[in-house]
Amino acid sequence: MDRIVDRLFCGLLAFGAAGHLLGTFLFAELWSALFVWSLAGVLAAALLVALNVVRSFRPGDRAVAWIALAGTLCWVGIAGLFGISIGNLFDPRVLVHAAAAVGLSYFNFRAARV
């Protein structure tokens, strides 16, 4: 059951990254600085998803778990900072990314300690 919940959090972060990508193309002027940096955020989220999927398939790999933990904890901070920057910590975009990153941080910490 834990493995399913872990992968659901990966899916939630992937959903957030896909939404970020869609929003980038819908709301940022093509090739502007905002567009490029927004794509960088999509890439960062996608790489965190990939890293966490790898970690979920390699339960004994503590190095991957520690790296994934560092990434997801930073992502919690970034989601919070985004919420502060828009003046709404309860914006659905903030909540999706933060919830996914907190959930993944839990599983990363458990995997890193074993």
Residue type, 108: N
Where residue 18 falls among pLDDT bands split at 50, 70, 90? Answer: very high
For residues 21 and 16, what is the distance between their CA atoms, to the nearest angstrom?
9
| Domain 2-113: CATH class, spelled out | mainly alpha
Where residue 79 falls among pLDDT bands split at 50, 70, 90? Answer: very high
pLDDT (average), residues 76-100: 98
Report whether 35 contacts 87 (CB < 8 A): no
Report whether 35 contacts 28 (CB < 8 A): yes
**Residue 114 pLDDT exceeds 90:** no
pLDDT (average), residues 26-52: 98
Domain ranges, ordered by start, for the chain = 2-113
pLDDT of residue 51: 98
Neighbouring CB atoms inside 10 A of 26's CB total 7
Burial label, 29 (beta-carbon count in 10 A; 0-12, 13-18, 19+): exposed
